[in-house]
A and B are shown apart, each in its own frame.
Chain A
Amino acid sequence: MLVACLLAIVIFSVASPHYATSGNAVTVLRNSVELLLIGLGMTLLLAMGGIDVSIGIVMGLVAIAVGRIVSADGSPFLAIISGPLVGALLGCVTAAVIVLGRVPAIVGTLGLLGVYRTAIFVLLGGQWLSGLPSSLTDLLSTTVIGIPVAAFAIAIAYLAVWLALRRTPYGLHLLAIGNSEEKARLSGIPVVKIRFATFVISGVLTGIAATFYVATYRNVEMTIGSTLALDAIAAVILGGTSILGGRCSLIGTVFGVLLLRILQNGLLLIGVPSLWQPVVTGVLILGVLGFEAASNRLPLARFRRARA
């Protein structure tokens, strides 16, 4: 993945004189903030053999809450706290249906997607939250020792999840459930607890993403987040996390998100119309994963796996 990212960067730098500028790098990174956070949650969900297709709309719901707080009270700290909290709450709702109701995640979250969309409309009452005060923006777009707050937040989130995966039983349990839920249950893993917690974690991360969204765009419209879920899933599977569960790569997700955004940005810079962007996303998924699938079946790879 790293190779693919670097390759893309080199090609675009050659093709467009404006590509390899620091300003453009900042643009790409800024465009990736929400997707990096949501993708992290999605990585855990997929690794567990779950999925959440309503995640973008959940971000929209949290953004409404954050936006309301920002516009009503003006206290940015309250908004920062409320984002993850509301996200956790919605994660609980999703988890209650999927985990406690024992409904297949893909269909269950599809149903919830409809319900949440209606909720967004009802909450907004047909109006947008636009031109929100910039108190939150001022707080979250500052830099600490030259590094933007968003980068810190993302680094902390990834580090925390990494530690949980590698240094606590949670990680082992998660992957075990992803491999086989039945076997995990038989070996005494608290399957329901772990699955519930993962949906809540994903909710919290989505809540943080929503906070940054409001800070960046100062606007909440009806269609907010409608394309995010599929983008996140695409980025995560590009990063090498298995959708069947049992395998996950956090760093892969980072590169998956960056690769998507680098390509979207780079293609526009070399003059490809934006309508082609979904096509590129699709070809990328098929190309990368198809190549991987094909090379896995080569004798050499089998040999290597057998030794490893």
Chain B
Amino acid sequence: MLSHLRKVLAASALSLVIAAAAHAADKHKVAFVPQLIGIPYFNAMEAGGNRAAKDLGVDFIYSGPVDTNPVDQLQIVQNLIDQGVEAISVSVLDASSIAPVVESAKAKGIKLFTSDSDAPDSGRAVYVAQATDEGLGTTIIDELVKRVGEDATIGIVSGEATASNLNAWIGFMQKQATAKYPKLKLLAPQFAGGTAERAAHISGDLMAANPDIKAIIAVASSTCPGVAQAIETAGKIGSVIGAGYCSPNTARSYLKSGAFGFTVLWDPEQLGYLTVWAGKQLIDGKSFEAENKIAGLEKPATYDAAKGILLLGPPAVFTKDNVDKFNF
């Protein structure tokens, strides 16, 4: 038995050598820790990070949890700190629990910063943002009102109830609705966890409970297919439109079938690029300009020194007319 296990371990050790060799070079290291691996959105960020690493001559490490579990995420960040990775960026799952690793990074002189999802007041070096939370929340409401009018009922289906960035977006949606569209009826958010199936069930139930519902917002990218599918199977294309923060590849067929009216997203590949670039800046001890022209990006990134936010630019709105121009 023991010898058997030894064989297995030897085999896995061999594969470890190969993997480790790839990082053996003595370059600066920048890491990005997503909220969850294995979803197209973060894969695109990884691709952007790799492109930036090549351009800037740094090593890029991409490692994240398999469940949206903040403790697993912390463990990954802590291990990157122990490895001495000089700049670590995190798409924070839960803003309140990131404090221990921020402390431990500071003690070691490591630049810990957030990207994609922020932990304000945690002492992070900078937040690389795709768009402000406020911008995302208000854009989707404004775009929806353009399509369904002010006098409408709108449902919200989110992913994990504990994801702080998603909750921030929902907060701004609600704020925008009460401030600007008093007649708009925004239903209480429902949480589907990570699976498309649950999202579909909940969307179906929402449509049954509110026959006057005009639109459903899919907040987490993993809920997009479920929401769209529920609208298709209920035969409500045309009377209910879906919308959300999902990548063009995920939403393409739904945009074309009419189940989705539009989706709001930035280019995660560009965000990944900007993240690694910001990490390099931090390692080099350079500060950010109010407007940063970066060779690998389409548009300059703006920096808000007061809030410590490096902004990629306004989010893009994808509809059936422009979706085919994008591939991520």
Binding site for B on A (CB under 8 A): 16, 18-19, 21, 23-24, 27, 30-31, 34, 117, 121, 124, 126-128, 130-132, 141, 213, 216-219, 221-227, 264-265, 268-271, 273-275
In the complex, what residue of chain A is closest to B197 when comparing beta carbons? A217
> For chain B, which range describes its interface: under 10, 10 to 19, 20 to 34, or 35 or more residues?
35 or more
Q: Are B253 and A265 in contact (CB under 8 A)?
A: no
Cβ–Cβ contact A218 & B195, under 8 A? no
Chain B min CB distance to A165 (Å): 29
- Check: B217 CB closer than 8 A to any chain A CB: no
Chain A residues whose CB sits within 8 angstroms of the CB of B252 once the complex forms: 131
Given A128-B40, A274-B190, the answer on whether A213 and B197 have CB atoms closer than 8 Å is: yes
Question: Beta-carbon contacts of B218-234 to A below 8 Å, as 1s and 0s?
Answer: 00001001100100011
Q: A34-B197, A218-B225, A271-B209 are in contact. List 12 more A-B contacts (CB 8 A).
A: A117-B66, A126-B39, A128-B39, A217-B229, A219-B229, A222-B36, A224-B195, A226-B194, A227-B195, A227-B198, A265-B204, A273-B188
Is B196 at the interface (CB under 8 A from chain A)?
Answer: yes
B201 at the interface (CB under 8 A from A): yes
- Cβ contacts under 8 Å, B253 to chain A: 130-132, 218
Q: Mark B244-256, 1 if CB is under 8 A from A, else 0.
A: 0000011011100
Contact partners of B202 in chain A: CB under 8 A: 268, 274
Contact assessment for B208 and A21 in the assembled complex, using a CB-CB cutoff below 8 Å: yes
CB contact under 8 A between A127 and B43, given known A18-B209, A117-B66: yes
CA–CA, A141 to B198, complex, Å?
Answer: 20
**In the docked arrangement, what's the CA distance between A218 and B230, Å?**
11
Contacts of A128 in B (CB 8 A): 39-40, 225, 250
What's the minimum C-beta distance from A103 to chain B, rounded to whole angstroms?
A: 14
Contacts of A223 in B (CB 8 A): 193-195, 222
Cβ-defined contact, B43 with A126, below 8 A? yes
Give the contacting residue for B225; candidates A16, A127, A217, A265; CB below 8 A: A217
Whether B250 contacts A131 by the Cβ 8 Å rule is yes
Chain B contacts to A: CB under 8 angstroms: 36-40, 43, 66, 161, 188, 190-198, 200-202, 204-211, 222, 225-226, 229, 233-234, 249-250, 252-254
- Distance of B236 from chain A, by nearest CB (Å): 10
Which of B39, B192, B225 makes the CB contact (< 8 A) with A222? B39
In the complex the two chains form, what is the Cα distance from A218 to B197 in whole Å?
Answer: 11
Q: A275 to B189: give the CA distance in the assembly, Å.
A: 10
Nearest Cβ on chain B to A243's Cβ, whole angstroms: 25
Asked if A27 contacts B197 (CB within 8 A), the reply is no
B205 with A275: CB separation less than 8 A: no
A-B contact count (CB 8 A): 115
Find the B residue at minimum CB distance from A122.
B38
Q: For B210, list chain A residues within 8 Å (CB).
A: 18
A264 CB contacts on chain B under 8 angstroms: 201, 205
Asked if B204 and A27 sit within 8 Å, CB to CB, the answer is yes
B38 contacts which of A27, A34, A121 (Cβ < 8 Å)?
A121
Contact A124 B205, beta carbon cutoff 8 Å: no
A226→B195 contact, CB < 8 A: yes
> In chain B, what residue has the closest Cβ to A16?
B209
Give the residues in chain B near A265, CB-CB below 8 Å. 201, 204-205, 208
Residue of A nearest to B36 (CB): A222
The chain B residue with its CB closest to the CB of A59 is: B197
- Nearest 3 A-B pairs (CB), nearest first? A131-B253, A219-B225, A222-B38
Q: Are B39 and A221 in contact (CB under 8 A)?
A: yes
Q: List 6 A-B contacts (CB under 8 A).
A: A27-B204, A130-B40, A131-B252, A217-B200, A217-B225, A219-B229
Of the residues A132, A225, A275, contact of B161 by C-beta under 8 Å: A275
Do residues B222 and A221 form an inter-chain contact, with CB atoms below 8 A? yes
Instruction: For residue B188, give the distance in angstroms from its CB to the closest CB of chain A.
Output: 6
Contacts of A224 in B (CB 8 A): 195-197
Instruction: Determine if A219 and B196 form an interchain contact, defined as CB atoms under 8 angstroms apart.
Output: yes
A113 → B minimal CB distance (Å): 12
Chain A residue nearest to B228 in the complex (CB): A219
Chain B residues with CB under 8 A of A21: 208
